[in-house]
A and B are shown apart, each in its own frame.
Chain A
């Protein structure tokens, strides 16, 4: 049996409990009593995948159905992969230790572009034909994907049977129901796919033909066999009624985000023009304070975790955040549970919120001004002022904090050297603020600056923008390095060819499928890890296929160009994105949704305004 074969080799690898399941909270069913088996695959290692909230939600949701069984699958680290290759062990699921190739659904979550080669590799390790066209007419396994990168699934079109757009709480079950019915009636793969394409939110790439202009841009995407011309993402309209798990799988090893989390809201009211998540997850929807508290208590009680995170894109934008904290603190304080708020904003970070989280734990603070000058912050619509940043740092310093981390981007649209020097100036002002405080905390001040290369993404107002070339980023890093005067400021500036590949894949078309295939064939996998990414491999694969990453990453796209993802609808309209892009170049900010509706279009799924009291 596979289980015994795997166990025999577990002591040869690091952290063997990544590979054998058995955790509290894992769900094991009798497979003879199960109708549809779903292998939820995370294209990265256990430590990363187990931290992913979406997987926890969908795992529990599917398993609530008695006759459906969802199991977990992760990519093995190099040492385990060598064992599996050597011993002929196929990719397997952790609960049953059955080969992934035996499942009805093999579902991947697409969280970041650089995981794409790992997907190909995992399919191959599962002995599933990597290309969709080689899978034949047998209905199983159905290779599907969900998650944010489905907003432009085109580079993966060759490899997937279908993509699930938007939020999966309802559509995943609809899809499994349809599958069960059609499989039991003897349907073929293509019959099922044609039927699935009629479910709202399901995109079947093989039912669309793509033609290109001579210059390489997309000419048209044409549906066939009755597939819809536009596929719109799915949205849960009422977060209080939306499914949320009461228990999670509790890992033995320490994972990246080792805590339970309650999602407090979806969407974002901010509209930062670089931020893909801020647009993809619209419209803004909150859970009530009672729901958040009940879910948080259930998760802590059932899992035994002593840290509870209130997660979202911007937790302090919850309209009842103080009430939520007060109510939760009553529960957590005498149970030795830490509350963590991972995404606080500079502009509404209040003293009382800080006091509430520090009753339990005090660590460094992290802020993301993103750009070094007010002008550029207006361009990217990061509506944070320097005064607000200084006010927040003052509160933090008064509260005893002595480490501040500041995140910035480089290569933003319209950026000049003045904006780069502004990064150093901002950090310097934080240093000066600390030393000007008569009653400053004891301890050593450290201000760290971290810069990342800006990557333009689909469904953002910057989807038309070129990414800065590597040489330009290197030059700007040098400008920044020379502008830093204080020893209290530590700058970490990372540069890698990864960000150009990420940019190419993010806005790529179907022709990149051949590139991904060649990179994988050449040994590419776990490419989001610096130790595995090999730039030469990627450049060679582009060249072999007569393509240029710069065409995808570093080119300005006119407003009227057909984007490879134009037949995919994430509810924010193209007209809105163009309007926002024009405002960016004019340096005009857009107020948050709660102040004024900017008319992005995402509220159409709610059938009402997101904030009834606010007018357009």
Chain B
């Protein structure tokens, strides 16, 4: 029995596959690949599969992670090859490695966000210098107002033909998550003009201690 962490890309049409559907798709892909997947014991055995950090519907990613457990050791190149042959277009495994960090280590994630709209570079600047950015958040106890400004780290902002490309670091993991759409919705409200989200792509997952999650 051996655990492997698969790093994979989720791009193109695969943006529209929800986390639950991705899980099912991966199970079927592993079954098609013929890799010796380990199944849980018990009344309803199921394939052992673990995703340390879910991705929201609509976002692409270059750094998705999935842990699988095989009943025997298989060379890493072989896992990559067999899995990629079975995956649909838009899902592509790039690395196989031994899991080092655990889910609880995850602290933040970095995204590139491409937005289209009028005068966005200036609007973004004004948006970000606000002392606080209040949004309504749905919690178990009902609606709650939170200030998301301290949670947003803008690592880069560059103009593109009809808008702006941002590189944002947002909290992720057990200690709290901030979805990109919360930021873009707040920006839309602030801009008082339509802001179109052209693309969101997760590029790196970081641990709380600042190291890259691996």
Our pick among B17, B44, B86 for the contact of A252 (Cβ within 8 Å) is: B17
Q: Which of B27-57 contact A (CB under 8 A)?
A: 27-32, 39, 44-45, 47, 57
Closest Cβ–Cβ distance, residue A500 to chain B (whole Å): 39
Q: What mask results when residues 285 to 327 of chain A are scored 1 for a CB within 8 Å of chain B, else 0? A: 0000000000000000111111000000000000000000000
Q: Do the beta carbons of A306 and B21 come within 8 Å of each other?
A: no
Contacts of A301 in B (CB 8 A): 32
Which of the candidate stretches A15-23, A53-61, A554-562, A571-579 sits at the interface with the other chain? A15-23
Q: Do the beta carbons of A22 and B88 come within 8 Å of each other?
A: yes
Give Cα distance in the complex from A301 to B25, angstroms.
14
Our pick among A16, A254, A302 for the contact of B16 (Cβ within 8 Å) is: A16
Q: Is A11 at the interface (CB under 8 A from chain B)?
A: yes
Q: Nearest residue in A to B14 (C-beta to C-beta)? A: A22
Our pick among A15, A16, A254 for the contact of B24 (Cβ within 8 Å) is: A254
In this complex, how many residues of chain B approach chain A with their Cβ under 8 Å: the count is 27
Q: Do the beta carbons of B28 and A22 come within 8 Å of each other?
A: no
Q: Nearest residue in B to A250 (C-beta to C-beta)? A: B28
Q: Do the beta carbons of A11 and B28 come within 8 Å of each other?
A: no
Q: Is B121 at the interface (CB under 8 A from chain A)?
A: no
Q: Do the beta carbons of B88 and A304 come within 8 Å of each other?
A: no
Q: Do the beta carbons of B17 and A304 come within 8 Å of each other?
A: no
Contacts of B28 in A (CB 8 A): 24, 250, 303-306
Give Cα distance in the complex from A167 to B47, angstroms.
39
Q: Do the beta carbons of B58 and A303 come within 8 Å of each other?
A: no
Q: Is B128 at the interface (CB under 8 A from chain A)?
A: no
Give Cα distance in the complex from A381 to B17, angstroms.
48
Q: Do the beta carbons of B27 and A252 come within 8 Å of each other?
A: no
Q: What mask results when residues 18 to 36 of chain A are scored 1 for a CB within 8 Å of chain B, else 0? A: 0011111000000000000
Our pick among B21, B32, B44, B57 for the contact of A11 (Cβ within 8 Å) is: B57
Our pick among B17, B32, B39 for the contact of A336 (Cβ within 8 Å) is: B39
Closest Cβ–Cβ distance, residue B174 to chain A (whole Å): 27
Q: Point out which of B13, B22, B29, B89 has the most chain A C-beta atoms below 10 A from its C-beta.
A: B13
Q: Nearest residue in A to B59 (C-beta to C-beta)? A: A11
Q: Do the beta carbons of B58 and A304 come within 8 Å of each other?
A: no
Closest Cβ–Cβ distance, residue A364 to chain B (whole Å): 15
Q: Point out which of B14, B16, B45, B89 has the most chain A C-beta atoms below 10 A from its C-beta.
A: B16
Q: Is B90 at the interface (CB under 8 A from chain A)?
A: yes
Our pick among B13, B25, B39, B44 for the contact of A20 (Cβ within 8 Å) is: B13
Contacts of A495 in B (CB 8 A): none
Q: Do the beta carbons of A252 and B39 come within 8 Å of each other?
A: no
Contacts of A11 in B (CB 8 A): 16, 57-58
Give Cα distance in the complex from A569 to B44, angstroms.
49
Q: Do the beta carbons of B58 and A252 come within 8 Å of each other?
A: no
Our pick among B16, B22, B24, B87 for the contact of A10 (Cβ within 8 Å) is: B16
- Which residues of B come within 8 Å of A, CB atoms? 12-14, 16-18, 21-22, 24-25, 27-32, 39, 44-45, 47, 57-58, 86-90
Smallest CB-CB A-B distances: 6 pairs = A304-B28, A304-B31, A22-B13, A304-B32, A16-B16, A252-B21
26 contacts between A and B (CB under 8 A): A7-B13, A11-B16, A11-B58, A15-B18, A16-B16, A17-B16, A20-B13, A21-B13, A22-B14, A22-B90, A23-B88, A24-B28, A24-B29, A24-B87, A250-B28, A252-B22, A252-B25, A254-B24, A301-B32, A302-B32, A303-B28, A304-B28, A304-B29, A304-B32, A336-B39, A336-B45
A16-B57, A253-B21, A361-B44 known; 14 new pairs, CB 8 Å cut-off, are: A17-B16, A17-B21, A20-B13, A22-B90, A23-B88, A24-B29, A24-B88, A250-B25, A252-B21, A252-B24, A303-B28, A304-B31, A304-B86, A336-B39
